[in-house]
């Protein structure tokens, strides 16, 4: 919704918005774009009456602003419908879908097209560091000039569109190029089971034209079975597959243990070698999908490989926030057990690859914040996903119906639970030691824990009076 607000502003509209507890980096971005932010859902925010109210999927019947819109008969639409009606018509839409990796892959693909001089429009569910903004119109350069270009890259979410439109957002986008990264059960608040999500994905497949392209993970890999089943329901477009060695289309070889470098192949033909700041096999797979999609838009794969060397990542995706007394603090959006496990694996492999001596502990700090997490759907798979952490700190929000202590018990002595963020910060600051990597994971603001912890580690009583935050490439540990 924040990105759509930015696009509406760039189209020349006067834009304001109401939300609860907006936090950086989105709140900062919106204010920089001249978009008025109003806290809460007071109907007074809609007086004088706007020409159109774009309603996000977080709002339901009973919300005072929603009821005011309906009672007064104000024109309203959903975010995806607004995007479709005002921006995506006559565009070459490149959509990135999947349970994990959408934001990072969308950002990669957008940067590859930008690097190739195609100046794409884009809408990303985060802030790509190569652009420092989450959305932009087609043909707009960093210097503010415009030229004609058909390409628009969009993060294609399977979440529902609005309280009055329960279809997934992505059915509005009608892509010509579609990436389907992966598929697992998630969003338990709107989907009863995996089959219901697969049905929505097949609705998306139905919208891709026969001269379009679908990019999907290697169908013979068992973990990709849900997407393979979707395509078996019917597919009317060309499909290219990506995966590890053995995939007939896009594949990789000679990957370093931490995924910071790998060779890219089209079949048996070497395209080039990616050397970049990102970590993990999951990001390597994201890169393959982005390269394939960019090729469909006309970018030679060797140029895509070169572009990825300059890809800076996304804010809040393994973003290094500070390094204080050789203690490194990271911010990561991981909120699903699979994403948690792959993030920890990438960090662990990076530490081992660089051959650091002495203690190099990973301290995982998790807030179970997503709707699916709050419902307890993943509570039995959380403990295994955190296995690579040396210590685990679990936060117990007051508004969830299950006890995170059950996860801590399954992990063992290295896990602890906390009822308040100040207590959590104080414990970490007291016990952190040189060489530690503190990985904070949440898909929300986590009550400002990142800055609180940085300030605590910098305080004289924790030995940090001469230390300042240090900015480095995401996922790059330091001695």
Buried b (16+ CB within 10 A) or exposed e, 445-466: ebbebbebbbbbbbeeebbbee
d(CA 478, CA 278): 15
pLDDT tens digits, one per residue of 47-68 = 999 999 999 999 999 999 999 9
Give the per-residue pLDDT at 355. Answer: 60
Q: Are 59 and 163 in contact (CB under 8 A)?
A: yes
Give the per-residue pLDDT at 442. Answer: 87
β 362-366/327-332 pair status: unpaired
Give the per-residue pLDDT at 297. Answer: 97
Give the per-residue pLDDT at 357. Answer: 52
Query: Residue 44 CB: number of other CB atoms within 10 A?
Result: 11
> Helix crossing, 102-115 with 281-296: angle to 10°?
50
Report in angstroms the alpha-carbon separations of 299 from 58, 291, 306. 37, 8, 11
Give CA angle at 80 (76, 84), nearest 5°. 95
Give the per-residue pLDDT at 478. Answer: 30
d(CA 184, CA 195): 10
- Return the minimum-mean-pLDDT range out of 218-222, 257-261, 344-348: 218-222
Give the per-residue pLDDT at 461. Answer: 64
pLDDT band (50, 70, 90) for residue 465:
very low
Residue 209 CA, distance from chain mean position: 27
Give the per-residue pLDDT at 139. Answer: 75
Query: Residue 408 CB: number of other CB atoms within 10 A?
Result: 21
Q: Are 475 and 279 in contact (CB under 8 A)?
A: yes
Give the per-residue pLDDT at 148. Answer: 73
pLDDT tens digits, one per residue of 292-312 = 999 999 999 999 999 999 999
d(CA 479, CA 474): 15
Percent helix / strand / coil, the chain, rounded to 5: 35, 20, 45
pLDDT band (50, 70, 90) for residue 475:
very low
Does residue 148 sit in helix, strand or coil? coil
Question: Could you give the dihedral angle defined by the CA atoms of residues 342, 348, 350 and 356, in that order, rounded to the nearest 10 degrees?
Answer: 170
Assess whether pLDDT exceeds 70 at residue 463.
Answer: no
β 53-55/415-418 pair status: unpaired
- The pLDDT > 90 percentage for the chain reads 57
Give the per-residue pLDDT at 349. Answer: 78
Query: Residue 401 CB: number of other CB atoms within 10 A?
Result: 7
Mean of pLDDT values over 270-290? 92
d(CA 105, CA 112): 11
Residue with structure tokens 């685990």? 392
* Domains contained in the chain, CATH given: 2-74 (3.40.50.720), 81-308 (3.40.1190.10), 319-462 (3.90.190.20)
Identify the CA nearest to 1 among candidates 42, 44, 55.
55
pLDDT band (50, 70, 90) for residue 141:
low
Residue with structure tokens 């089943």? 229
pLDDT tens digits, one per residue of 193-230 = 899 999 999 999 999 999 999 999 986 666 788 999 99
d(CA 245, CA 387): 27
Give the per-residue pLDDT at 119. Answer: 94
Residue with structure tokens 């020349």? 12
Give the per-residue pLDDT at 336. Answer: 78
Give the per-residue pLDDT at 144. Answer: 57
pLDDT tens digits, one per residue of 313-343 = 887 777 888 889 889 999 888 767 888 888 8
Q: Average pLDDT of the chain?
A: 87
- Return the minimum-mean-pLDDT range out of 162-171, 275-284, 373-382: 373-382
Residue with structure tokens 């990506």? 242
Give the per-residue pLDDT at 19. Answer: 92
- For residue 128, count CB atoms less than 10 angstroms from its CB and return exposed for 0-12, middle for 13-18, buried for 19 or more: buried
Helices (H), 316-420: 337-353, 371-374, 379-385, 405-411
d(CA 291, CA 315): 21
- With residue 71 as reference, give the H or E element that holds it: helix 64-72
Phi and psi torsions of 153, nearest 5°: -105, 130
Give the per-residue pLDDT at 466. Answer: 39
Give the per-residue pLDDT at 332. Answer: 86
Q: Are 418 and 394 in contact (CB under 8 A)?
A: yes
Does residue 367 sit in helix, strand or coil? coil
Identify the CA nearest to 35 among candidates 54, 7, 14.
14
Query: Residue 352 CB: number of other CB atoms within 10 A?
Result: 12
Sign of CA dihedral 326, 327, 333, 339: positive
Give the per-residue pLDDT at 25. Answer: 73
Per the model's pLDDT, the better-predicted residue between 335 and 44 turns out to be 44
β 177-180/213-217 pair status: parallel
Give the per-residue pLDDT at 473. Answer: 36
Tokens encoding 26: 């989105």
Residue with structure tokens 């994971």? 441
Give the per-residue pLDDT at 474. Answer: 36
Which range of 145-154, 241-250, 323-332, 346-355 scores highest in mean pLDDT? It is 323-332
pLDDT tens digits, one per residue of 410-445 = 999 999 999 999 999 999 999 999 889 999 988 777
Assess whether pLDDT exceeds 90 at residue 290.
Answer: yes
d(CA 412, CA 415): 6
- The pLDDT > 70 percentage for the chain reads 90
Report in angstroms the alpha-carbon separations of 104 from 11, 151, 260, 476. 25, 18, 15, 17
Give the per-residue pLDDT at 24. Answer: 75
Tokens encoding 202: 């097949």
Q: Are 364 and 439 in contact (CB under 8 A)?
A: yes
């Amino acid at each position: 919704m924040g990105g759509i607000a930015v696009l509406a502003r760039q189209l020349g509209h006067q834009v304001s918005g109401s939300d609860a507890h907006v936090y950086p980096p989105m709140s900062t971005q919106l204010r920089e774009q001249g978009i008025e932010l109003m806290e809460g859902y007071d109907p007074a925010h809609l007086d004088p009456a706007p020409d159109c109210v774009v309603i996000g999927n977080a709002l339901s019947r009973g919300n005072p602003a929603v009821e005011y819109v309906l009672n007064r008969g104000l024109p309203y639409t959903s975010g995806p419908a607004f995007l479709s009606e005002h921006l995506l018509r006559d565009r070459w839409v490149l959509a990135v879908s999947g349970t994990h990796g959408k934001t990072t892959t969308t950002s990669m693909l957008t940067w590859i097209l930008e690097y190739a001089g195609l100046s794409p429009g884009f809408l990303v569910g985060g802030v790509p560091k190569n652009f420092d903004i989450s959305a932009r119109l087609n043909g707009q350069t960093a210097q503010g000039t415009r030229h004609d270009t058909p390409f628009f890259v969009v993060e294609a979410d399977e979440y529902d569109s609005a309280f009055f439109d329960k279809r997934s957002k992505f059915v509005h986008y009608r892509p010509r190029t579609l990436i389907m990264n992966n598929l697992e059960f998630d969003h338990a608040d709107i989907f009863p089971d995996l089959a219901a999500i697969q049905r929505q994905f097949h609705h998306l497949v139905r919208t891709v034209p026969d001269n379009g392209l679908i990019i999907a993970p290697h169908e013979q890999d068992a973990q990709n079975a849900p997407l393979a089943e979707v395509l078996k329901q019917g597919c009317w477009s060309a499909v290219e597959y990506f995966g590890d060695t053995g995939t007939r289309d896009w594949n990789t070889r000679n990957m370093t243990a931490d995924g910071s470098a790998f060779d890219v192949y089209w079949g048996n033909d070497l395209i080039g070698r990616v050397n970049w700041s990102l970590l993990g096999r999951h990001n390597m797979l994201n890169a393959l999908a982005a390269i394939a999609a960019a090729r469909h838009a006309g970018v030679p794969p060797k140029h895509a490989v070169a572009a990825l060397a300059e890809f800076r990542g996304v804010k809040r995706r393994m973003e290094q926030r500070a390094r204080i007394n050789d203690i490194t603090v990271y911010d990561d959006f991981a909120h699903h057990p699979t994403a948690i496990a792959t993030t920890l694996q990438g960090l662990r492999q990076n530490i081992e690859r660089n051959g650091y001596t002495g203690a190099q502990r990973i301290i995982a700090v998790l807030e179970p914040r997503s709707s699916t997490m709050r419902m307890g759907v993943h509570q039995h798979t959380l403990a295994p996903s955190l296995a690579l952490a040396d210590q685990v700190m679990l936060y117990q929000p007051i508004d969830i119906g299950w006890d995170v202590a059950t996860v801590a018990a399954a992990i063992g002595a290295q896990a602890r639970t906390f009822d308040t963020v100040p207590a959590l910060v104080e414990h970490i600051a007291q016990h952190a030691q040189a060489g530690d990597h503190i990985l904070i994971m949440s898909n929300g603001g986590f009550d400002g824990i990142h800055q609180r912890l940085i300030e605590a580690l910098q305080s004289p009583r924790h030995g940090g009076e001469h230390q300042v935050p240090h900015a480095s490439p995401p996922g790059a540990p330091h001695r």
